[in-house]
Structure 1
């Protein structure tokens, strides 16, 4: 029994799709290990809870930075752990693994992902570009000769591509995404409220009240951190209109990238996109107001995929079947 597995190896989280079962695993891509012994203490959600809260000898790190492997050995162990967890113990044959990479990666970076996956126990490895996987996962039939625009906002990179006939026509990948939203909130809190907060708190703010487009009713939440003037813990109330201000520059750059891809799109495909709209996928697409913002700046109808977080993993898993169909064709 051979198993086909699709892995969305993201900067923020790893999702594993198993053929016939769907997405069965979604964990943060964080690894905690002991500096003294080099032993891995925790992987996934358990390790994420340790971020910014560990003693000196234990470090919680993200082995992927901006969609690219920054720590090879740790990534290999992490992939191995997730593959074993997804497959369970009883396996006789090594799995076929499809894994996705951002559209702008170099050959060297692709090779690193491929080798890490083979080392983690794969029999065969297929690399797929993220926007293509996102389109398949969102249920778009990409084998037809008509243009589809995908904006995949992940944790470390945002991939924007126009896809037709199963391949990308124009694409761009910018190293600006969910993590940069968090950093923008951290900077804003420091500048405006003299409050130092960690990245986990920033992420909470982004998820609960974050918006990139003015809301009809302002929402607020209490944020705790360290006062930079007195050095003591302090509580501040933050509103959603402040998050809009904090995120304006970062989201503006994503919109600019979308416009630059549209400018390079062949006219026939531009007509298709105007007709079919822009599809938003990835965890970053869950940020409120992003649809409205892109729609306002481009004038093109924009919608978010049904389950934006899982779309890439599903597409990665279904890619093998899709390619199987293409081979017969």
Structure 2
């Protein structure tokens, strides 16, 4: 991934951050929505016909655990409410949506994801794995996209721009919160909030280093048989300041983190959306 490509990714994320608070209404365009049902956060991204960000919304939620939907009604309700919020902002109906799942879980959960998106009122056009969705924004030729979510870490190995291997293991932000809760003697909910505050990251990075090194070991195990140029971190748990440095030191492969990695995968999902409904 070149410096220019990373800048392009960061520019797209920056545009999306801007339209969350100030949507861009255009009555003459088709809208494409990405629905990212994360363990800690549900994100909806809306792009126009040229795949430029026009609106977005997100809500922290506890309806998914370890990449699996555990509160179906809660998930449908939140997605529908976010959809209605964005429709009001854009003064239109959002018809088409794509979504994503952790790598290797398609047989287990793609049906549930499909049902949530459709029950919320969308026509579903695509379901893809999360790291592959992220690469719709990153455009990596040879490397590993590592999506560190709330419950799992998903890894996609790319060669010549094509995904040649995917994997998913159960370590992520939930484990960060459990460690923080234990270290600070606070509840899990309080630990979640404390972890999200960037002002606390400098002290937390020391506390969380063993968990980050475990994630690095997972990555190292999955990439050992492949010749890759770099590791690219996405997902909400990658927002932790300094996480990329610890992973790079552990694996000794250049490790990169785009601006606000929480939004890279949702944007990639939306970029995969079309007006062709899934069968």
TM range (shorter): 0.7 to 0.9
**1:264-294 Cα deviation digits (max 9, x unpaired):** 32xxxx1xx23xx211112212212221112
Report if the CA contact (8 A) 1:23-1:314 is conserved. Answer: no
- Distance in 2 (alpha carbons) for counterparts of 1:103 and 1:184: 25
TM normalised by structure 2 equals: 0.77
- How far does residue 113 in structure 1 lie from its aligned partner after superposition? 0.6
- Distance in 2 (alpha carbons) for counterparts of 1:201 and 1:156: 15
Partner residue in 1 for 2:259: 306
Question: Alignment partner of 1:6: what SS?
Answer: strand
Partner residue in 2 for 1:40: none
Aligned pair partner of 2:210 in 217, 242, 249:
249
Report if the CA contact (8 A) 2:63-2:74 is conserved. Answer: yes
More helix by share: 2
User: Which one has the largest radius of gyration?
Assistant: 1
The 5 Å alignment of 1:243-282 reads 243-265=204-226, 270=227, 273-274=228-229, 277-282=230-235
TM normalised by structure 1 equals: 0.66
* Gapped regions of structure 1 (runs ≥ 5): 31-61, 190-194, 212-239, 325-329
The 5 Å alignment of 1:200-239 reads 200-205=190-195, 207=197, 208-211=199-202
- Distance in 2 (alpha carbons) for counterparts of 1:29 and 1:205: 13
- Distance in 2 (alpha carbons) for counterparts of 1:97 and 1:205: 30
Partner residue in 1 for 2:44: 16
Report if the CA contact (8 A) 2:36-2:44 is conserved. Answer: yes
- How far does residue 124 in structure 1 lie from its aligned partner after superposition? 3.0
- How far does residue 163 in structure 1 lie from its aligned partner after superposition? 2.1
2:175 maps to 1:180: yes
- Distance in 2 (alpha carbons) for counterparts of 1:245 and 1:103: 29
2:125 maps to 1:125: yes
2:189 maps to 1:199: yes
Q: 1:28 to 1:307 in 2, by over 3 A?
A: same
Partner residue in 1 for 2:3: none
CA RMSD of aligned residues (A): 2.5
Q: Give the count of matched residue pairs.
A: 243
More contact order relative to length (CA 8 Å, sep ≥ 6): 2
Runs of 4 or more above 6 Å deviation: none
Report if the CA contact (8 A) 1:8-1:14 is conserved. Answer: yes
* Gapped regions of structure 2 (runs ≥ 5): 1-28
